[in-house]
Structure 1
Amino acid sequence: MSTSVGAPAVEEHEKEKAALLDEEGDLTPKFEAALIRIFARFSSSYKEAHPDVQASGSGSSASIPRPEATDVLTEADLDAFSTATNGAALPQESKDEIREFLDIDKDGNLTLRGFIEMYHLQSDNDPEETWKDLSKLGFSSSLEYEDERKQATETKAAGDSATDQVADSKN
């Protein structure tokens, strides 16, 4: 009987997560927006083209410029991304598979299209691995960028504290 009590809780937890793929198996718009933000965060060419945009610090609702076709993830960018998600640089074998099976530029760098293809495949085959990555990169189960929500909460708390101090000084 305790088994059946635990099972619905797991299902409820699963229902809380935003969909990664729609009924046709395509990426949902929220998931694609999260992937664009992640790509922009790690792409050195994107950061060079958009020095004022901080993809890891911009609000989840704030749109960031979409990466251009020339924006890519270099080997060093992939290593930084892999270290953030898996704690270590990407093995050479994985880099070779990326070059063989995903969309790359003429220099062998992963394009945004290739990055989205990579996550489409992973999310279709192992959504929990995708959720682990998203969580490590600061996204909530609703695909909101949590670091930004944390900053907004801290800013509001600081503002409330200042308001309280002003009110106390008037009393």
Structure 2
Amino acid sequence: MHLDGAGYEVPDPPDLEGRLPVLAYGSNACPAKITWLRRALGLTGAVTVLQAKCTGLAAVWAAGRRVVDDQRPATLAAMPGVVEEHAVWLATPEQLRVLDVCEGRGNRYHLARVHTGEVTLANGASLPDVLAYVAASPIRLPLLVGGSPIRTAEVPQAQAGAMTGETAESHGLEVTVIESD
């Protein structure tokens, strides 16, 4: 759990009534990002984050860059046979609204139920159709280098900015986009 600028391990999660599981990959899994969201976008309350094993899904480098800092962001893609560790935010509706603003919901990313792959929590619980932010525009589709997406686990951010390639036609995920209120 992240609260007051620090992270805490909680053996028994706090009240999770009304919280939604959102797969967090790239910077959204970083405690410093949570602190930035509090300062810059008014994120409030305890942020409960669980570890998860993702099978058939991967965080890959996006084709475009962020305007604010010229960094290449991560995006989600289908990758059969790949297993990665990521985080799952158990977000309140208010926290989800802050994430929507940060992710440019409907513009850069869509909030969607992801039907591809499998997300399993550390306690063995499966999260079918987990929510995640997936590419909504070509700049957030995967970057293909030599015809393949490049996993963030394989190439660090410092090298990702210098990569060149083509924009993928799709992220390859089966999703149901959740329309904004």
* Higher percent of residues as helix: 1
Name the TM-score, length of structure 1 as normaliser: 0.24
TM-score using structure 2 length: 0.23
Higher relative contact order (CA 8 A, sep 6+): 2
